[in-house]
Structure 1
Amino acid sequence: MPSRYRQLLHLENVKRTDIWELLKDINYFVRESEKAIDTFFINITQQQNSESESTTCIALLVGIHSKIIDIRNRLQQLPPGDNGFDFKERRNEFTHLLIEGQFQLDKSEFESGREELFDLLIEGQPQLSVVAILDSSGFDKTAFAADTYNNNHVKFYFDCHAWVRVSIAYNFRMILDDIIKSVMPPSRVSVVIGEDYQLKKSILRDYLTNKKYFIVLDDYCEESDDVLDDLEEVLPENQNGSRVLMTVTDPDFLSSFDLENGQTIHPDSVLVGGPLIRLKHEAWQFFILHYGKTTLRIYMGEKAFLTAWSTIYSVLELPVHLKICCLYLCLFHPGIEISTRQLYWLWVAEGFIPHNSEETAEHYLNELIDRGFIQVKKRRAGGTIKACYVPTFAYVALLLPAALTGFFWSPGLEEESMANAK
């Protein structure tokens, strides 16, 4: 971890330790309250009305009432707005560090790379070409890929299109299903999607034969190039200008490639000659798009680290009603499609939504979307959100505060959250 960032992460600098003790007490109280309420309702359901059981239920409820009074009194003794740790100030410090001392993307260089990419997509050689887009300072690789994917010239040029979110846990079965759903007509998807995995790969390959396709794999986080081997099995080389874009998070992904001059790429490499750089690949034309002047390890590692911690502070800065709804998103694997209606019901069932109002839940969702913690996947005809997903960077950033507050836990959570903060 860069030394200039460490001072911002010292939680022991929090002066109001009584607040952390109070939060722990509230967490414990919530768990005990749930047990008491469960006991109360079980007794009612089973109609067990013996005097001893009634006495136990009354004692539990009296204990809950006393604890509520105790917590309320302690909260009233806290000075308003003073918690000894200004999350907004810390987030602003991180934002400053994100800019200070880092390579800033020149607009002319950005446009040059964009033009090179469009030339490759539309006017490049007929061989199937793959472009891996890397993280860069002042450059959102997913937004860049989306702008390319939604371009009218691109949509007109290719026969079929697919945008697939890969996310943390690589699963080509899911990727295969998403490609099938995107490129095939719905009537055929309903027949194919339930078939055997190997048969589906064969069906997709046959379907894409003689078609000019454009496929985007967003947020590939693995350091291996397994995805390319899997894609070779389903993507035919039609010699008609088909293209694949990938947004890549881990620079180690490139360690299995060589530059055209034979030089091996490693995390300490400084890539020059770009922003669009040709690499060696046995089967396809392979390129990387990268804006950067330092080593891949430093460049991508520091950017990811700072972005993750800036997002963590943004989580901690949320008002309570949004914070609990936001932390709840840890339960969903990043990139997985989430039905908004089911999400509303889950929030309501957990007691997060006042008066169990679906309208309020929808308002909370829109606020979290505006803040970047959730992305829209599908909309209904009227414009309301039908499905959403949690981006990888948001998921990773949510894991740490969820673990620290005891909001959510699973085996290996601490290792997973740090291992994926790349």
Structure 2
Amino acid sequence: MRRRWRQVEEDDVVGFVDDSSTLVKQLIEGDWNCDVILIIGMGGLGKTTIARKIYNNVHVKSHFKCRAWVYVSQDFRTKELLLNILKKIEISDWRTVEELKEKLFECLLRKTYLIVMDDIWKTKVWDEVRSTFPTNLNGSRILITSRIREVASHASLTSPYFLPFLNKDEGWELLSKKVFRGGAYPPELETMGRKIADDCRGLPLSIVVLGGLLANKEKTPGTWSKLIGNVNWYLTETNTICKDILALS
């Protein structure tokens, strides 16, 4: 279910233009110390989406000689986390945790690296792995996403980036993208569509899930008018999968 949630969350990108530009600049042009950059926000706001957008940015790719992306989650295990990072840089030996830490440190030493640790829930994760990342004084970075504010203050003295909700125009843009697959839409549906998007309170995950449901329904004023003021009920009562995905948020 978490995998499905991440796929839903990353499916469409709306907004984040200024956000991603700011964070890319911070990654590339920041202090030469090994800086820890954090993206904080409630579940479903798009932390993974913006982190993935940054990770795949052409300037970021060319700047960092070594990159690795790992998904942490609530059920993290130190050995699996270290192995996943090592596999991304083409080393997959099975070792003890201490041997893995030593090997990873050696691999990253003197390299310009970017490590993304997505969805950290506990400060313990950083305590387990922080010594693994060498301070190369070459602009290497660690990017962490989390919904827990304490993770930010524990991992870095740098102020975290708090991800905002979508504004009304961005909410409607995302909903129309999902419902009409990026194509034209009947003008008479826009007013109702904006009201429906507003009921999602700027939470991208809710808009994406709702848009996926509406894409398969009749696109008429009569159908859409029934949702105005009833979006929350529609999402949580009419579809078990949607309810489960939103419950993770």
Paired residue for 1:166, among 64, 68, 72?
Answer: 72
Tell me how far 1:303 sits from its aligned partner.
Answer: 6.4
Partner residue, 2:142: 244
Flag the structure with more relative contact order, 1 or 2, with Cα contacts below 8 A and sequence separation at least 6: 2
Partner residue, 1:205: 105
Over 3 Å off, 4+ runs: 110-113, 136-139, 254-257, 310-318
1:231 correspondence with 2:137: no
Size of the aligned set, in residue pairs, is: 179
Partner residue, 2:120: 220
Superposed counterparts of 1:20-99, under 5 Å: none
Change (3 A) 1:156 1:256: closer
Unaligned runs of 5+ residues in structure 1 are 1-105, 258-278, 281-285, 294-301, 327-370, 374-392, 398-420
Q: Residues 10-51 of structure 1, C-alpha deviation per residue, up to 9 Å, x if partnerless?
A: xxxxxxxxxxxxxxxxxxxxxxxxxxxxxxxxxxxxxxxxxx
Contact 2:33-2:139 at 8 Å conserved across structures: yes
Contact 2:47-2:163 at 8 Å conserved across structures: no
Mapped partners of 2:73, 2:233: distance in 1 = 19
Mapped partners of 2:25, 2:144: distance in 1 = 17
Contact 1:163-1:179 at 8 Å conserved across structures: yes
TM-score by length of 2: 0.59
Amino acid in the other structure paired with 2:19: G
Partner residue, 1:126: 32
Change (3 A) 1:229 1:122: same
Mapped partners of 2:233, 2:96: distance in 1 = 41
Mapped partners of 1:166, 1:138: distance in 2 = 16
Amino acid in the other structure paired with 2:65: D
Mapped partners of 1:149, 1:312: distance in 2 = 36
Partner residue, 1:317: 238
Partner residue, 2:51: 145
Contact 2:109-2:134 at 8 Å conserved across structures: yes
Amino acid in the other structure paired with 1:317: T
Contact 1:216-1:246 at 8 Å conserved across structures: yes
Contact 1:164-1:217 at 8 Å conserved across structures: yes
Mapped partners of 2:152, 2:34: distance in 1 = 19
Q: Residues 179-236 of structure 1, C-alpha deviation per residue, up to 9 Å, x if partnerless?
A: 01001x2xxx34x2x12221111011011101111111111122xx222222322111
Tell me how far 1:136 sits from its aligned partner.
Answer: 6.3
Aligned to 1:125, the other structure's residue is in SS state: coil
Tell me how far 1:239 sits from its aligned partner.
Answer: 0.6
Mapped partners of 1:235, 1:255: distance in 2 = 18
Change (3 A) 1:111 1:136: farther
TM-score by length of 1: 0.37
Unaligned runs of 5+ residues in structure 2 are 1-13, 166-201, 210-230
Change (3 A) 1:291 1:204: closer
Tell me how far 1:251 sits from its aligned partner.
Answer: 2.6
Mapped partners of 2:88, 2:233: distance in 1 = 34
Amino acid in the other structure paired with 2:147: T
Aligned to 1:226, the other structure's residue is in SS state: helix
Root-mean-square deviation (CA, aligned residues, Å) is 3.8
Tell me how far 1:135 sits from its aligned partner.
Answer: 1.6
Paired residue for 1:288, among 160, 181, 204?
Answer: 160
Q: Residues 245-288 of structure 1, C-alpha deviation per residue, up to 9 Å, x if partnerless?
A: 1111123434658xxxxxxxxxxxxxxxxxxxxx62xxxxx341
